[in-house]
């Protein structure tokens, strides 16, 4: 357990978020020593080709 600046908690993750003001991503990178890769948002595709029946 830890107690700092009138805030207490039980984990390193909680300490870095509450006391140091880190975001969750920054905490994970700090603790693991690795950069977190966030998946890009999917791009909405134009459906003009998908609305027609498939001809073989």
Predicted local confidence at residue 7, as pLDDT = 74
Q: What is the CB neighbour count within 10 angstroms for residue 9?
A: 16
Answer whether 0.75 is exceeded by the pTM: no
Long-range contacts of 36-43 (CB under 8 A, 24+ apart): none
Q: Are 37 and 28 in contact (CB under 8 A)?
A: no
Return the number of other C-beta atoms located less than 10 Å from residue 29's C-beta.
14
The pLDDT value recorded for residue 23 is 92
pLDDT at 22: 92
Q: What is the pLDDT at residue 54?
A: 75
Q: In tens digits, what is the pLDDT along the chain, a chain of 56 residues? A: 767 777 777 788 888 888 889 999 899 898 888 887 878 888 877 777 667 777 78
Tokens 């975001």 sit on residue:
23
């Amino acid at each position: 357990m830890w107690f700092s600046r009138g805030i207490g908690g039980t984990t390193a993750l909680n300490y870095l978020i509450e006391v140091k003001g880190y975001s969750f991503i920054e905490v994970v990178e700090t603790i693991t020593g690795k950069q977190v890769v966030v998946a890009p948002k999917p791009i909405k595709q134009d459906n003009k080709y998908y609305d027609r029946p498939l001809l073989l």
